[in-house]
Amino acid sequence: MKDSLADTLILLFRNLIPFFITLFFVLVGFVPTHLPLSHFLRPDFALICIYFWVLYRLDLFGIVSTILIGVVVDSLSGLPLGMNICVFLFVYLLTITLAGYVNTKPFVSSWLCFSLIAFLAFVLKWFLFCVYFRTLLTLPHIFMTYVSTILIYPLIARLNMFIQNRYIKTRGDIDE
Amino acid sequence: MKRRRVLFIRLSQFRIFLRKLIVTLVVISAFGLVILSKADNAHLNTTEDVVARVLNPVIRVMQLPADGVYYLYEKIRDVIRVYADNKALKSQEERVYYLEQKLQALKIENELLSEMLYYTPPEDADFVTAKVIASEGDGFSHSLIAYIANVKSVKKGQVVLYKRSVIGRIDSVHGSYVRILLISDINSKIPVVVERTRAKGILSGNNTSVMNLLYTAPKADIVKGDEIVTSGVGGIFPSGLPVGYVTRVSPSAIEVEPMEPIETVEYVKIVNYGTYEDFFDEDFDR
């Protein structure tokens, strides 16, 4: 039996949820809160979401979504177009490589794996930035961003898990 | 009969090869894009412009709950502060506290806007007050996005002030939104002078909350607490605009902090001095 148009649209919408959730978190990252330390503690939500969705739902969050998120982040942050795309593609490839190992392990393993991938991603971004602007960028501020990204990962991952299990789930639950 | 040797490639293997080839090409293209950005490609600028025009209104809407959180935070902080005062002044303060609470909501907005009038631009300059709707303050970029409605006079390069000091300049205009390059951004270089001794230098951001005063004379008389103002050299910033204070002087570096806390900026004043039109045109590369 052929699916109705409504079914097709619902399926399409469901398949686009990971991309729009990532976009939502990216935009949240740009909203100024004016709270103390908010200028320094800026988690990289895009990195978290890309890692999560590529790890657990590669079928719904592919290379095109990764590139589009990179374009959005580069355009809004004022960084040269392509810099975040490179970093996100790097995360995408690393996550795919490690997915087979991490997917079967408890949540803590995926968190540790994210810490490693995020570290390498920040190093790559720092390197690209330094080469592009021909200047040596000081590390403490970037380290703060890295630490805040690692610390907020469980929260964002749980939210994404909830969305996956509640609204998308077609391949079974994610092991926690 | 002799059998011919045929090279068999399975379809699945070919697909894997194709997938790897595509990923490799995409990664190379991304690096190419970074290099292309350096050349200020018009198509790339258009892409950025389109994304900014589409998503900035969304961020503006998303800012409403964030404003609510900040309002709550302000409330809680004020309550704690007033409670402390109240304890010291006992019953006399209770009445004042009650009235303060009633006026608080209007006061916050009113204070922000009225404080911005501390600095009066020269008569030949006009200004626009804009609300900050997004900020980027990680280790890689320090910028703000502000809403300017339909004001057409705002152009790239114009000076951005907070209450009375310079906090940046317009980096790009996307319809009703502008991106502001903050003075703490690594790309920001402003010719300045020390107000007390008129020692010249270049104020350079480094993506932290503290900036560096570079290219000063070796024996320049600069001490902690000196006020730094724009020198007017280069013609982009008019002379005499306050920028920050010297916070540390060492043989290796002179550190300057912004005069006003940039992280709490809610409204900014974009001033058109008309001094930089020759420097920034559509194709100007920062």
pLDDT digits (tens, 9 = 90+) for B69-84: 888 888 888 888 877 7
| Domain boundaries defined on chain B | 42-118, 122-279
Average pLDDT (A154-172) is 84
Among A59, A128, A41, CA closest to A90:
A128
Nearest by CB to residue B34, choosing from A78, A82, A143, is A82
Among B49, B40, B234, B273, CA closest to B155:
B273
User: Mean pLDDT lowest for which of A38-47, A95-104, A128-137?
Assistant: A38-47
A64 located within any domain: yes
Question: Residue B117: is its pLDDT beyond 70?
Answer: no
Listed by number, the residues of chain B in 161-180 with a beta carbon closer than 8 Å to a beta carbon of chain A are 171-172, 179
A38 located within any domain: no
Q: How far apart are the CA of A57 and the nearest CA of chain B, in angstroms?
A: 18
Q: How far apart are the CA of B186 and the nearest CA of chain A, in angstroms?
A: 8
The answer to whether B236 and B181 are in contact (CB under 8 A) is: no
Q: Measured between beta carbons, which residues in chain A are less than 8 angstroms from residue B26?
A: 63, 67, 89
pLDDT top residue among B105 and A98: A98
Instruction: Note the pLDDT of residue A8.
Output: 82
Closest alpha carbon within chain B to A128 = B34
Buried b (16+ CB within 10 A) or exposed e, B86-121: beeeeeebeeeeeeeeeeeeeebeeebeeebeebeb
Number of domains making up chain A:
1
The answer to whether B143 contacts chain A (CB < 8 Å) is yes
What is the residue-wise DSSP string for chain A? Answer: -PPPHHHHHHHHHHHHHHHHHHHHHHHHHHS----TTTTT----HHHHHHHHHHHH-TTTS-HHHHHHHHHHHHHHHTPPTTHHHHHHHHHHHHHHHHHHHHTTS-HHHHHHHHHHHHHHHHHHHHHHHHHHHTS---HHHHHHHHHHHHHHHHHHHHHHHHHIIIII-SS-PPP-
CB contact under 8 A, B138 and A44: yes
A22 located within any domain: yes
The answer to whether A125 and B140 are in contact (CB under 8 A) is: yes
The answer to whether A64 contacts chain B (CB < 8 Å) is no
Identify from B41, B140, B180, B185 which residue to disrupt to test chain A contact, counting A C-beta atoms within 10 A and taking the largest count.
Answer: B140
What is the torsional sign of CA A112, A114, A115, A117? positive
The answer to whether B27 contacts chain A (CB < 8 Å) is yes
CB contact under 8 A, A79 and B55: no
Instruction: Note the pLDDT of residue B6.
Output: 54
Q: What is the dihedral of CA B285, B212, B228, B208, to 10 degrees?
A: 80
The two beta strands, B177-182 and B189-194, are: unpaired
Average pLDDT (A34-38) is 69
The answer to whether A42 contacts chain B (CB < 8 Å) is yes
User: Domain spanning B122-279: which superfamily?
Assistant: Rod shape-determining protein MreC, domain 1 (2.40.10.340)
CB contact under 8 A, B66 and A32: yes
A36 located within any domain: no
A174 located within any domain: no
Question: Residue A176: is its pLDDT beyond 60?
Answer: no
The answer to whether B266 contacts chain A (CB < 8 Å) is yes
Average pLDDT (B130-145) is 83
Q: How far apart are the CA of B111 and the nearest CA of chain A, in angstroms?
A: 16
CB neighbours of A116 closer than 8 A, spacing ≥ 6?
A: none
Identify from B16, B138, B162 which residue to disrupt to test chain A contact, counting A C-beta atoms within 10 A and taking the largest count.
Answer: B138
Distance in angstroms (rounded) separating the CA atoms of residues A139 and A118: 15
DSSP state of B140: S
Average pLDDT (A85-110) is 89
Instruction: Note the pLDDT of residue B132.
Output: 87
The answer to whether A50 and A61 are in contact (CB under 8 A) is: yes
Question: Helix or strand or coil: residue B164?
Answer: coil
Instruction: Note the pLDDT of residue A121.
Output: 95
CB neighbours of B225 closer than 8 A, spacing ≥ 6?
A: B245, B246
A59 located within any domain: yes
Distance in angstroms (rounded) separating the CA atoms of residues B158 and B125: 11
Instruction: Note the pLDDT of residue A92.
Output: 93
The answer to whether B204 and B187 are in contact (CB under 8 A) is: no
Question: Residue B286: is its pLDDT beyond 50?
Answer: no
Among B40, B38, B41, B112, CA closest to B71:
B112
Instruction: Note the pLDDT of residue B163.
Output: 82
Among B135, B131, B132, B166, CA closest to B243:
B166
- Residue A34 has φ and ψ, to the nearest 5°, of 65, 10
Q: Which two tokens stand for residue B157?
A: 């390069």
Nearest by CB to residue B44, choosing from A34, A44, A81, is A81
User: Tokens 């789930």 appear where?
Assistant: A169
pLDDT, tens digit (0-9, with 9 covering 90-100), for B173-203: 888 889 999 998 888 889 999 988 888 999 9
Q: How far apart are the CA of B126 and the nearest CA of chain A, in angstroms?
A: 26
Tell me the β-bridge partners of B202: B191, B214
ipTM of the complex: 0.73
Nearest by CB to residue A76, choosing from B34, B51, B262, is B51
| Domain assignment of residue A162, given as a range | 5-31+44-168
Tell me the β-bridge partners of B159: B169, B271
The answer to whether B82 contacts chain A (CB < 8 Å) is no
Average pLDDT (B240-257) is 89
Listed by number, the residues of chain A in 147-176 with a beta carbon closer than 8 Å to a beta carbon of chain B are none
pLDDT, tens digit (0-9, with 9 covering 90-100), for A119-137: 999 999 999 989 888 888 8
